[in-house]
Amino acid sequence: MDLLDNLAIGFQTSLSLANLGYAFLGALLGTLVGVLPGLGPIATIAMLLPSMYTLEPTSALIMLAGIFYGAQYGGSTTAILINVPGEASTVVTALDGYQMARQGRAGVALATAALGSFFAGTVGTLVVAAFAPPLATLAFEFGAPEYFALMFLGLVGAIVLASGPFAKALSMVVLGLLLGQINTDAITAVPRFSFGVPELMDGIHFVIIAMGVFSFGEIIANLDRPAEHREVFVRSVTGLWPGRRDFREASPAAARGTLLGCVLGVLPGAGPILASFASYSLEKKLSKHPERFGKGAIAGVAGPESANNAGAQTAFIPMLTLGIPTSAVMALMIGAMTLMGIQPGPQVMTSNPALFWGLITSMWVGNLMLVILNLPLIGIWVKLLTVPYRFLFPAIMAFCAIGVYSLSNNTFDVYCAAAFAVIGYLFHRLGLEPAPLLLGFILGPMMEENLRRSLLMARGDWSIFIARPIAAAMIAAAVVLMAAIALPAIRKKREEVFVEKEE
């Protein structure tokens, strides 16, 4: 069995003492940032990247992956305990999870979320292990037009799932693509939009934009709000283990959620978010007691939690096999690989099997750790939420400042980050969502290169994108997606979903 051999290689890497340590550290840090409001995985990964140069690439990626799903998990903890979803994908969990907590069943809700996520994570890991190799083989057939079409599809996905008006999200992607044009042209070596500033000739580092827009801009926006007094309803959590009836209701929901998550997670855009929303509506439709949803139905926690975790796993498939990010977090992971001298793409699996399989198996290890780690630590997370923001934000700022400086030991980067702090706050104020911008920024240079190569190949004939079947299929999918959000019925549904989300 190839699969078993591969998994064995993986476990040799991921179960080494050092890598177990990094997976643990990542899961712990991820949970921490998921619990703390206003600090998400994007800001955290951006903050930590500069200090990871010294780590071995495999260990660094294992730790980053740990942060990614740790944050998903931490987000659901706060969603259940205080009705504050730490992450966009845990918004749905708050609907029924928080109601369960109010009924004194916080422990059961947390355990359901943990066990559901673990189950979904296990299945998701197997799916990634089974489907990544054939997809990577297929990826070798990809030429410039296919890559361009896929990235186009990814950007359209990001737009469809962004909140707010279509034109604004699309503009943010285009603005991101344009910011990515501040560099030296890869083909002709002409410096573009650098105004003679040598630092700009290499382009702006994506960490600077991520940090400026997501951390600093967010801090300014938070400080501008009147100090909110977060009420912690649940001070102690008892009775973790779900009863037999809970199990009977939660298990099928978790299984269906996992399936949905595995399928939807691969889609470019924001897979886990879509998966959790889809699972919630599915469970509500299938339930014999739909009226209990929103009032503490356990299936409403188990389904979406499993779906979002399974989606978080399979979101790694396009990144691992094609080197193409499907979300801003994945884009940061790709950036991390490039920083460490690994060119992401289908060749990673053959040229660096220990890293490839180590990363996949570490996802499972990380999920196991999340269960072991989080159930006993819930009390600590509850306490953490009582730390006043006036101590928290200077700490976030301080660590970010060190991170930006040490990117290349250059103060120009710090000034750049200050500029993006202002821009990020402006975005926030004007209701422009920054996540599509970051995705566009990362994909910009890759997209341009593949577009120009395709056009060179086709001697300027744009029809090359529909003449090749794989490219045509992806362009068609993108067009269908765009048309779909233009349709009134789906548009209304989408608005409803985001209205719920903003609460």
Partner 1 sequence: MRTRQFRPRPLSERAESLANWQNTPFILSKPDALRGVMKIRNQKDFASGILLAVAGVSFAIGATNYGFGDSARPGPGYFPFGLGVILAVLGLVILRGAFARGSGDGEAIGAIPWRPLIGVVGALVFFGYFLPRLGFLISFPATIVITSAGGAEFRWKDALANALVLTLLSYAIFIHGLELNIPLWPA
Q: Which residues of the shown chain bind partner 1 in the complex (CB under 8 A)?
A: 50-51, 54, 165, 167-168, 170-171, 174-175, 177-178, 181, 185, 187-188, 190, 192-193, 216, 219-220, 223-224, 227, 388-391, 393-395, 397-399, 401-402, 405-406, 409, 411-412, 414-415, 417-418, 421-422, 425-426, 429-432, 448, 451-452, 455-456, 459-462
Pairing of the two strands 191-192 and 183-184:
antiparallel
Tell me whether residue 238 or residue 386 sits nearer to partner 1 (CB atom). Answer: 386
With respect to partner 1, which residue has the nearer C-beta, 137 or 408?
A: 408
> Which residue is it, tokens 């109601």?
99
Helices (H), 287-386: 299-314, 316-322, 328-339, 347-351, 353-384
Question: Locate tokens 């089974």: which residue?
Answer: 130
> Which residues, 6 or more positions from 397, have their beta carbon under 8 angstroms from its beta carbon?
215, 216, 219
What CA–CA distances, in Å, run from 144 to 48, 226, 472?
33, 51, 13
CA distance 293 to 289: 8
In residues, how long is the chain? 503
- 226/232 Cα distance (integer angstroms): 18
Least CB distance to partner 1 at residue 127 (A): 35
Nearer to partner 1, 130 or 227 (CB): 227
342, 378, 301, 387: which is closest to 64 by C-alpha?
342
For the bound state, the minimum distance from the C-beta of residue 187 to partner 1, rounded and expressed in Å, comes to 7
Q: Which residue's CB is nearer to partner 1, number 112 or number 163?
A: 163
Give, as one character, the DSSP assignment of residue 214. Answer: I
CB atoms near residue 314 (< 10 Å): 26
Helix (H, G, I), strand (E, B) or coil at 183: strand
Q: List the structure tokens of 21.
A: 């340590």
Q: Least separation, in Å, of the C-beta of 7 and partner 1?
A: 32
Work out how close the CB of 217 gets to partner 1 at its nearest, in angstroms, rounded to a whole number: 9
* CA-to-CA separations, 63 to 55, 173, 335, 359, 451, in angstroms, rounded: 10, 28, 14, 9, 34
**How far apart are CB 274 and partner 1 at their closest, in Å?**
24
184 forms beta bridges with 191
Nearest of 333, 413, 437, 418 to residue 65 by alpha carbon: 333
Which amino acid makes up residue 422?
V
Q: How many CB atoms lie within 10 A of CB 352?
A: 16
Choose between 375 and 392: whose C-beta lies nearer to partner 1.
Answer: 392
Residue 114: closest CA among 428, 493, 383, 373: 373
Looking up tokens 């650098």 gives 194
Nearer to partner 1 among residue 203 and residue 300 (C-beta): 203
Smallest distance from partner 1 to CB 265, Å: 29
CB of 439 to partner 1, least distance (A): 15
- In the complex, minimum distance from the CB of residue 161 to partner 1, in angstroms, rounded to a whole number: 18
Closer CB to partner 1, 15 or 174, in the complex: 174
Shortest Å, Cβ 54 to partner 1: 6
In terms of CB distance, is 121 or 436 closer to partner 1? 436
Minimum distance, C-beta of residue 460 to partner 1, in the bound complex (Å): 3
User: Could you tell me the smallest distance in angstroms from the CB atom of residue 18 to partner 1?
Assistant: 15
DSSP alpha helix (H) spans, 206-298: 206-210, 217-224, 244-266, 271-286
Read off the tokens for 142: 């990809």
Q: By C-beta, is 155 or 237 nearer to partner 1?
A: 155
CA distance 152 to 466: 13
Nearer to partner 1, 246 or 413 (CB): 413
Residue in 208, 152, 248, 43 with CA at minimum distance from that of residue 465: 152
CB closer to partner 1 out of 295 and 494: 494
